[in-house]
Amino acid sequence: MKNPYTIIEQPIISEKAVDLQKQGKYTFRVQRDANKIEIREAVEAIYQVVVKDVNTMNVRGKVRRVGRGRAGRKPGWKKAIVTLAPGTRIEVLEGV
């Protein structure tokens, strides 16, 4: 297995992600080549919780202006929404 700390790049803290935490769902930015099984094992290893479900999506990079009139593109990335077993939560990410 890959190193769990390289699979999970960072937690996503946004208004929508904080609202999902009330339902026991936590959002992470993950490696593009990571699959759901690797993400599940990484979250369980890092935070010592029981993962019930993992949903993933590829986020397209946005088109941005570079210089005068030229268009560039930000890189795409992968997002994972991890649902924990009922009654469990990640204390470190609560209330951020």
Structural domains of the chain sorted by starting position, each given as residue range(s) with its CATH number in brackets: 4-87 (3.30.70.330)
Cβ neighbours around 51 below 10 Å, total: 19
Tokens 């935490």, located at residue: 21
Q: Measuring CA to CA, how many Å separate 69 from each of 11, 37, 73?
A: 34, 43, 13
pLDDT tens across the length of the chain (96 residues): 689 999 999 999 999 999 999 999 999 999 999 999 999 999 999 999 999 999 999 999 999 998 888 999 999 999 999 999 998 999 887 766
pTM of the full predicted structure?
Answer: 0.88
